[in-house]
Amino acid sequence: EIVLTQSPGTLSLSPGERVTLSCRASQYITSGHLAWYQQKPGQSPRLLIYGTSTRATVIPDRFSGSGSGTDFTLTISRLEPEDFAVYYCHQYDSSPQTFGQGTKLEIK
Amino acid sequence: DVQLVESGGDLVQPGGSLRLSCAASGFSLSNYGMFWVRQPPGKGLEWVSGINYNGAYIFYADSVKGRFTISRDSSKNTLYLQVNSLRAEDTAVYYCARAYSSGFYSYFESWGQGTLVTVSS
């Protein structure tokens, strides 16, 4: 099983700041099969990024993904108030598929 | 529009069983991989089970293997998760999610709103 470790666990930031979230895999992820989701309280997760770096439909371009192998990142170039949420990475490269434990972005 | 509506969650005693349903609309289940993901209260997401478009490929997380069974009824366009021998640690919101494609190895493009399973005596 591929274990995904996200860091940091919680980030306190202000609107307008730039942030980079990390997702590290315990094994090599081939073909870039890594996705990112955003979840707000009381809501279902929402797909942001798939295939490491492709934005999902209607996701603004301030969100970007990158990485390869075992190290992946999600960057938000300029935080908007609606971006404060929990972010999860997800590998769909091998079974069982797994999620990271999440990174919570909170308003400073 | 793609819509996934889960139901069947309830309060159940340890050792009990439930059948969770996920009614799909706006697409045919027979053309997509489908999955169950759960989230214990206040915690992160856990991948539970998945089935590819034709049912030929099914996989379970180790934590539920032998106790949970995924299936679907194409005539009702509904995905199911039979959950047996429930334990306290199975308490969670259970989401169904649709893959981008017919395959098994896919990200989750659409999610339902979830159904809550509470295991307690």
Q: A10-13 and A103-107 as β-strands: parallel, antiparallel, unpaired?
A: parallel
Query: pLDDT (tens digit, 9 = 90+) per residue, B42-100?
Result: 999 999 999 999 888 999 999 999 999 999 999 999 999 999 999 999 999 999 999 99
| Subunit contact B45:A92, Cβ cutoff 8 A | no
Give residue B104's pLDDT band: very low, low, confident or very high (50, 70, 90): confident
A77 and chain B in contact, CB less than 8 A: no
Query: pLDDT (tens digit, 9 = 90+) per residue, A79-91?
Result: 999 999 999 999 9
Contact in structure between A11 and A18 (CB atoms under 8 Å): no
| Subunit contact B47:A96, Cβ cutoff 8 A | yes
End-to-end CA distance of chain A: 36
- At residue A30, the pLDDT reads 82
A99 and chain B in contact, CB less than 8 A: yes
- At residue B93, the pLDDT reads 98
Is the four-CA dihedral A78, A83, A88, A89 of positive or negative sign?
negative
- At residue B102, the pLDDT reads 81
- At residue B74, the pLDDT reads 92
Say which of A33, A46, A102 has its CB closest to residue B44. Answer: A102
Q: What is the DSSP letter of A67?
A: E
Query: pLDDT (tens digit, 9 = 90+) per residue, A58-80?
Result: 999 999 999 999 999 999 999 99
Taking CB atoms and an 8 Å cutoff, what residues of chain A touch B94? none
Counting one residue from chain A and one from chain B, the pairs whose CB atoms sit within 8 A come to 59
B47 and chain A in contact, CB less than 8 A: yes
Q: Is the pLDDT of residue A9 over 90?
A: yes
Q: Is the pLDDT of residue B101 over 90?
A: no
| Subunit contact B59:A51, Cβ cutoff 8 A | no
